[in-house]
Amino acid sequence: APDRVVAGPKYLAGYGASRGGRDYEDADVSESDLWNIYLPPFRAAVEAGAGNIMGAYMELNGVPASGNRWLLTDVLRDVLGFEGWVVSDANAVKSMVAQHFCRDLTDAGARAVDAGLDMEMCMDDPAFGGLPDAVAQGLVSQDAVDQAVRRVLAAKFRLGLFENPYVDEAATASVLDAPAHRETARVAAERTAVLLKNEAILPLDAAELSSIAVIGALADSQRDTLGPWVFEHDVGETVSILAGIRARAGDGVRVDYAPGVWAPERVFASMFDAMDPTTLASPVDVDADVEFARAVQIARNSDIAVVVVGQPQNQIGESASASHLALPGRQLELLQAVRDTGTPVVVLVMSGRPLDLRWAAQNAPAIMQVWYPGSQGGAAVANLLFGDVSPAGRLPFTWPRTGGQVPMVYNHYRTFQPENQDKRYFDEESTPLYPFGHGLSYATFHYADLVLDTAQLTTGQSATVSVSVTNTSARDADEVVQLYTHQRYGTSSRPVRELQGFERVFVPAGGSRRVALELGPDQLRYWSAVTRDWVQDATVLDIWMGGSSEAELHTEVEVVHAR
């Protein structure tokens, strides 16, 4: 349809498991992790109707994804049932020559098509340009090339590109300027922010404040508010955090601003900076110590200090791997100096990865992760700070204390001496700073009456798990109810907890909601290295429901094999 686009999940597969956390590096992933962790999102996307899949750059277990027939055909098509077309990442096919997997470009194009890759994305000198020679040399069959062409043409037919090959450029401005889209952008930012810590300092009350200090270069950076991988954008329409706070606080509250410090520039420039003239370098014609002192003085003279820390947008995303998780530059030093003024501090974190917040977690009364909140981000953040919206975002990853803990996941195994898992390091707890699924609210919730609708679960059977959630505060709010399980014994060891479902629900002040989530064989089966196949065991399941992966409300059920 002319008003639709094709959904294309990427990158297949294991891209997030690159060695050392370095973009483009190879990934060595066990079959168990592939089937149980990395492939299920692609399966879900295919089942939801994804029409395209993008392959990854890197070698997966020694084989580049663009030439990996097992991955692109045996798994993606034969097992996951994908019927759309597969495209390479930029220059990934020709890169197989540089990766010393293919002899030359003709060989690379032939092996990619034979593996099941249908379209090459390439900046110049494409490997697919040699396909006629590859067919003539017998490196790839004409049938394989025809199949790739058919898949691409079928997608174009479904999109209506042969009937309507061009977009209405005149309509672009009105679509992008639509007020409803700005509203959606603001709401999305409000719903995704995560309140990590709050010692009764938030929400702010403008009626009780005469002055606010907003500190941090990111607070007044429209470009950084948008985040990375944004092109053809209108920076001027972006609401920065500073602008959002000023607008929401109103004329009765003085809002002073100082950048204080700037993040150091990248050691190696980002290739995307050359494509984006709105990315500005940190100023060099300022007295760093003077600006630092000015920020501290502004904080000292204010009722409250909102300090925005994090990473500029060109230090996150593609080609922006980091060797550590420390706050860039002197941001921690500035945060400490602001705290020492005695002015209460709210820390806003603008980043796409977890940063080292150990000091802030111990010393700042409030911390909110706002990510890169987008074109209406400043308005959204202000609404959250002043309580127009209660935060209900939840962490989609486990937040480590330091980079030395990475990779750190909530769904780890019990392993040897599980009672000492928090003491694996001799110098610091081996626990997360904030657990997976964590996120606070301005409301308070009580969970009770956890019920499974069957006394015994048979393999292949589904059950419903339900719980009562009561808002025990005077504030309406959303809560994210999460369901976790643990299998006590079976063919293989299983993680200590696995998220099996969640639902975001609105619960009015003083009200209660009964939340029911499905628990079925697709969630309880797993790929076992013992059988090298999918299994669902007869076992005992621990079940928890609550507000994070550390939920305490528990029940259990016996699982038996069907007779």
Which residues are tagged catalytic?
89
* Amino acid at residue number 61: N
Burial label for 418, CB within 10 Å (0-12, 13-18, 19+), is exposed
Instruction: Return the ∠ at Cα 394 (arms to 388 and 395), rounded to 5°.
Output: 135
Give the CA distances from residue 503 to residues 218, 393, 437, in Å, rounded to whole numbers and listed in that order.
Answer: 32, 12, 12
- Tokens encoding 135: 């067919």
- Tokens encoding 334: 């500035």
CA atoms within 13 A on the CB side of 24: 12
Q: How far apart are CA 10 and CA 66, in angstroms?
A: 12
Please provide the size of the chain in residues: 563
| 370 CB-near residues (< 8 Å, 6+ apart) | 189, 193, 241, 348, 349, 350, 377, 381, 384
66-71 CB contacts, 8 Å cutoff, 24+ apart: 66/92, 66/93, 66/95, 66/96, 66/108, 66/112, 66/115, 66/117, 67/93, 67/96, 67/101, 67/102, 67/108, 67/111, 67/112, 67/115, 67/117, 68/115, 69/114, 69/115, 69/116, 71/12, 71/13, 71/115
| 275 CB-near residues (< 8 Å, 6+ apart) | 231
The answer to whether 155 and 6 are in contact (CB under 8 A) is yes
Q: What is the DSSP letter of 54?
A: E
Q: Residue 85 pairs with which residues in a beta bridge?
A: 52
Q: How far apart are CA 434 and CA 451, in angstroms?
A: 28
The answer to whether 212 and 256 are in contact (CB under 8 A) is yes
Helix (H/G/I), strand (E/B), else coil: 237: helix
| 418 CB-near residues (< 8 Å, 6+ apart) | 496
Q: How far apart are CA 501 and CA 518, in angstroms?
A: 8
In the block, residue with structure tokens 């062409």 = 149
The answer to whether 535 and 525 are in contact (CB under 8 A) is yes
C-alpha closest to that of 397 among 109, 154, 196: 196
